[in-house]
Chain A
Amino acid sequence: AQTVTQSQPEMSVQEAETVTLSCTYDTSESDYYLFWYKQPPSRQMILVIRQEAYKQQNATENRFSVNFQKAAKSFSLKISDSQLGDAAMYFCAYRSPSYNTDKLIFGTGTRLQVFP
C-alpha cells in the first residue's frame, strides 16, 4: 500500500523569504500523480501544484515549485517570496493512475506560519 509522509508538523518563514516543505512517499507503482494542497483557515482545500511521475521536469506555478526526485521518492514544495497569505496547512498527496480507484493518499500536513 502507498504511504505519504510529511515529517515537518510546523514550519515558519519570514515574509519575502523562501521555504521548502518536505514530502516523501512509498509506492511500488512506476506511474502516479503527486499533489500539494493548501488549506487556509477557511478550511477549503486548494490545489497548489501537481506533478506527473513520468515527467522529468519539475512542475512550477508562479512562486510555487517542486523538487521531484523519483528515485528517492521525494516531492518537496518550495515557496519563493513568501507572502502572509501563504500561511496555511499544506498537504502532500499521492494518487494511483488506476481507473479502479478514486483515492488521494494524504500526508499528515505541515502548518506554515509566515511572519512579517
Chain B
Amino acid sequence: EAQVTQNPRYLITVTGKKLTVTCSQNMNHEYMSWYRQDPGLGLRQIYYSMNVEVTDKGDVPEGYKVSRKEKRNFPLILESPSPNQTSLYFCATSDWGVIWGEQFFGPGTRLTVL
C-alpha cells in the first residue's frame, strides 16, 4: 500500500529539548516537503527536497532543519524547540508522474512545546 508515515503522531516536549520527527514514503517519489498547520493560517511550507541531498527553504524555515540522505526519508529536526513551534506538522510527497502536481500527505504530527 502506497503511504507516507510520520512518527511520532503526538509529542509533548519542553523548550530547548532537541527533537526529530521522521517521515518515510514507499512511493519512490522525488519530491518531499514539510508543512505546518496553524489555526487561521492554513498550511505553510517549512522545507522541501527535490532529490537526495537537495533541500531548500519554504516559507517558514526558521528554527527547523531537514536532511535527505535517502530518497524515502525526510526527517524534520527542531534543535531548540520553542512554544511558537507548537503546531500540527505534515510531511508530503509528490512526483511529476501520472498524477502531476498532486501531493500525498502523511497523517500529521501534533507537537506541543511547553
Contact = CB atoms under 8 A, between A and B. Distances in A.
Interface in A15-34: 33
Contact of A106 (B31, B43, B96, B100): B43
B107 A47 contact: no
A75 interface: no
Chain B: interface residue count, which band?
A: 20 to 34
A102 B48 contact: yes
Contacts of B90: 45
A109 B42 contact: yes
A102 B105 contact: no
23 contacts: A4-B42, A42-B107, A43-B107, A43-B108, A44-B107, A45-B43, A45-B90, A45-B92, A47-B102, A93-B43, A95-B101, A97-B101, A102-B33, A102-B48, A102-B94, A103-B33, A104-B35, A104-B45, A104-B92, A104-B103, A106-B42, A108-B41, A109-B42
Interface of B: 31-33, 35, 40-45, 48-50, 58-59, 88, 90, 92, 94, 96, 100-103, 105, 107-108, 110
